[in-house]
Amino acid sequence: MRIHPTAVIDPRARLADDVEIGPYVVVEGEVEFGGGCVVGAFCRFEGPVTIAEGNRFVSHASIGAPPQDLKFKGAPTRLEIGPSNVFREFVNLHRGTPGGGGVTRIGGQGLYMIGAHIAHDCQVGDHVIFANNGTLAGHVHVGDYVTVGALTAIHQFCNVGEHAFIGGGTIATKDILPFMKTVGSRPARCFGPNTVGLERRGFSEDRIRALKAAWRFLHSAKLTTTEALARIAAELGDAPDAMRLLEFIKASERGVILANG
């Protein structure tokens, strides 16, 4: 274990033997670091926080701060972070609230660029990318392999489906479709399948072709959303990704972002 002499480490913290702690780091409360974690200068951790192995915090990150919720009165809530993420400068991750289940969860193998913000009670999947100042309000669920563009803000209680690509500067007040590219300010618009990202992740031509077909139904000016969903169910029932898209739309409580916002 290598701890810089200027770091302040709470005796309640638990650090694996090979953790590295840089200058002027502050660790308060019950914070657990897994093996191989590296913490750069000026980061602050406020427990209870559990951090799995292999995470890297570059500098000035705020990890496990109390939620920005006026109803929060200091109840014991948590932040849980999966393995092998990179958190760049000024990233902040907040603990949960009692009303939201008490736990904010971050998956593994993610990249969180400068100023990314994950608010209380969010549930974030694996292999995500948050570009600079990508922001989640409270209670947002983000699936695996999602890319959140720079300066994007996602409204509280929204769901972001897996493999979604959200373009920079998007203001999302409804759910974001899985597998699709969604871009825009108010109102945000969906521009069809996230083809490049899906190809990079090994999606076959057949899978992408089915998603494009589903999008044509959803995007058709001749069909209502209800009619489009019926066509997807009838004509793409053997395509699991299309069925996942259908399931996501039917389960949405806030409505989903389509071409018309």
Q: Residues 132-156: what's their mean pLDDT?
A: 97
Task: Confirm whether 120 is a catalytic residue.
Answer: yes
Task: Confirm whether 206 is a catalytic residue.
Answer: no
Task: Confirm whether 139 is a catalytic residue.
Answer: no
Q: What's the CATH number of domain 199-251, 1.20.1180, 1.10.1740, 1.10.287, 1.10.10?
A: 1.20.1180
Catalytic residue among 60, 94, 117, 120: 120
Residues 6+ apart with CB under 8 A from 166: 146, 147, 148, 149, 152, 154, 160, 172, 176, 182, 183
153-170 per-position pLDDT tens digit: 999 999 999 999 999 999
Catalytic residue among 121, 126, 175, 241: 121
Residues 6+ apart with CB under 8 A from 27: 7, 8, 9, 10, 13, 21, 44, 45, 47
pTM of the model: 0.92
61-102 per-position pLDDT tens digit: 999 999 999 899 999 999 999 999 999 999 999 999 999 999
What ranges do the domains of the chain cover? 2-139, 199-251
189-207 per-position pLDDT tens digit: 899 999 999 999 999 999 9
Tell me what the pLDDT averaged over the chain comes to.
96
**Whose structure tokens read 């002499």?**
5
Q: Residues 228-245: what's their mean pLDDT?
A: 97
pLDDT at 260: 56
- CATH 3.90.1150.10 describes domain 2-139: no
